[in-house]
Amino acid sequence: MTEPDPAADPLEEARARYREERAKRLRTDGLDQFQQLRGEFAEFDRDPFADPDFTRDPVERDVDVVIVGAGFAGMLTAARLRERGVEDFLILDKAGDFGGTWYWNRYPGCMCDVESYTYLPLLEETGYMPSMKYAGAAEIFAYCQVIGKHFDLYPRALFQTIVDTATWDDDAARWVVHTSRGDVLHARFLVTAGGILSKAKLPGIPGIEDFQGDTFHTSRWDYGVTGGGPTEEMDRLGDKRVGIIGTGATSVQVVPQLARAAREVFVFQRTPSAVGVRDNGPTDEAWFRSLEPGWQAERIRNFTEAVTGKHPDRNLVADGWTEVMWDDTQSAGATPEEAEALERSDFDTMEAIRRRVDEVVEDPTTAEALKPWYGKHCKRVCFHDEYLPAFNEPHVHLVDTQGRGVERVTADGVVVDGVEYPLDVLIFASGFEVTTDLDQRLGFDPVGRGGVSMSGRWHDGAHTLHGVLSAEFPNMCMISIVQAGFGTNFLHFLSESAGHVSWLISTCLQDDIRTIEATPEAEEAWHAVLISEAVKIADYSINCTPGYYNSEQGNNPKARRNLTYTGSLVDYVDHLERWREQPGFPGARVVHDGS
């Protein structure tokens, strides 16, 4: 049999190229290639925004609910609890205010990459109108404070406070939470809302600790070094050579700003991002004011349907996301013909993205290096109108590492392929932990019944019902993507989870339920659902270039259990809804007060 001639069919040619590029990027150390912000890098995790001299007296309270995390998940849970009449709760966060991601990420150019009208929660409740289709980070952070005030959450918030331990007291049926400020909180329910991309990571590049210039991670942007601010131009880089490691969604937003401000910019690339058209613009106020009550929930669901292959009759958002993700091409086709049609659709979408690079980037070698050679579901697609043009500036240099990553960091700069690039400032746009153990990302290891820790019971990976309840951890509700939904619009997932958790807690309080937890049998049944979804996309995923979507293609022994629900988020939401509609909390072990 003769091998097909790749030149004869662009799809065949692309298949070969995808394999080739993936092979360059494969490595054996998986998630271990990254390091945490510890030891000499602890300074990278310091809060540059909060008052370092802040003190307060320790709090001792017995409350209905302690919520850990004051980002959108925590705020939404709190808002929904209040709507359901649950008033007795506290929200804890190590940050100095509400906001989560939007508290920490203040890098220049930061904005939501999903349309504001579907991304910003509670717009109907607060009456707030986002100024732009894709709002900037400063506005979103300010909006978090609007939510905090609207729902009167500030009096219930303990900021600059880190949970040290959370331990279940079975006799009292309470979680006992100790914090870094000496608080001792007793709570009937514990909600862990620690964020999805909240724990920054650094690459384990040899010599990374040697760099003598200024250096920081994008999630703790150091305006002391760069000058300017989230909404002001940076004014201290005019004579500086700035390097940035990473070309993911964050870097795509940062690079155009660096290009504007710095003498020279070096962008160190391992895998290029797919960058589609953004087309941002101000909100049409007349349109916004004309929206009928209930519009936001409908729009949010419609967007998720549109980007998960559900082909809704109307495409309400109609932006780059819905265009690129309209067909879900990850699932194995029912027939070889269907499989090829899906592959071709994916290829056509990515070809359009690659063509855009040629149209925008003038230097052919740079353009070639900026083209993504992988399927559209392999990495989060980016949308930006200034990133690619930045590479036409003579002082902006793409340093392509051919999938291998930066070779070494020295006292003076960064080495790739034996060439040292001297730098004054080195910025890490190296992302966040996503699929590491939940207790590692939470920063504390909950201790359930009988002294069993989460890391102990989950030694082989997560055990949950819907990602929310877990056996031996009574009255603990988790909001995280571990064994739970995931989707393009994180806020859709967080809103649904927060709604679910607040319903669960308020129902238990009303019905005098003392404890609720998953049964191990229900956990296994849910795990089977997760696996049945995961196998549908297994072939696609394995052929992807490594990244955080597929745990870097590493050999993680817990990967079989630390899954997300890989079907459409609307189907995950339907699972939760169906569960709530059934009487008696199926799959949960429930103990009533006095029983």
Which residues contact ligand NDP (rule: CB under 6 A)?
Answer: 25, 111-113, 197, 203, 205, 245-251, 253, 268, 270-271, 380, 401, 405-406, 429-432, 547-548
Angstrom distance (rounded) from CA 421 to CA 242: 10
Q: Residue 413 Cβ, how far from ligand NDP at the closest point, in Å?
A: 14
Q: Which is nearer to ligand NDP, 148 or 554 (CB)?
A: 554
For 334, phi then psi, to 5°, come to -70, -30
Q: Residue 4 Cβ, how far from ligand NDP at the closest point, in Å?
A: 29
Q: Which is nearer to ligand NDP, 268 or 421 (CB)?
A: 268
Q: Which is nearer to ligand NDP, 23 or 535 (CB)?
A: 23
Angstrom distance (rounded) from CA 508 to CA 314: 38
> CA distances (Å), 345 to each of 73, 275, 342, 566, 568, in order?
35, 17, 5, 20, 19
Q: Residue 33 Cβ, how far from ligand NDP at the closest point, in Å?
A: 7
Helix segments in 234-319, DSSP class H = 249-261, 285-289, 295-306
Q: Residue 201 Cβ, how far from ligand NDP at the closest point, in Å?
A: 8
Q: Which is nearer to ligand NDP, 194 or 431 (CB)?
A: 431
Cβ neighbours of 208 (radius 10 Å): 20
Angstrom distance (rounded) from CA 316 to CA 213: 48
What is the three-class DSSP state of 419? strand
Structure tokens belonging to residue 68: 């850990």
Q: Which is nearer to ligand NDP, 463 or 492 (CB)?
A: 492
Q: Residue 197 Cβ, how far from ligand NDP at the closest point, in Å?
A: 5
Q: Which is nearer to ligand NDP, 101 or 515 (CB)?
A: 101
Angstrom distance (rounded) from CA 78 to CA 91: 8
Cβ proximity of 108 and 254 under 8 Å:
yes
What is the three-class DSSP state of 220? helix
Nearest Cα residue to 449 out of 536, 518, 511, 513? 518
Nearest Cα residue to 424 out of 246, 235, 269, 237? 237
Q: Residue 204 Cβ, how far from ligand NDP at the closest point, in Å?
A: 8
Q: Residue 485 Cβ, how far from ligand NDP at the closest point, in Å?
A: 14
Amino acid code (one letter) for 16: A
Angstrom distance (rounded) from CA 544 to CA 23: 10
Q: Residue 559 Cβ, how far from ligand NDP at the closest point, in Å?
A: 17
Q: Which is nearer to ligand NDP, 248 or 554 (CB)?
A: 248
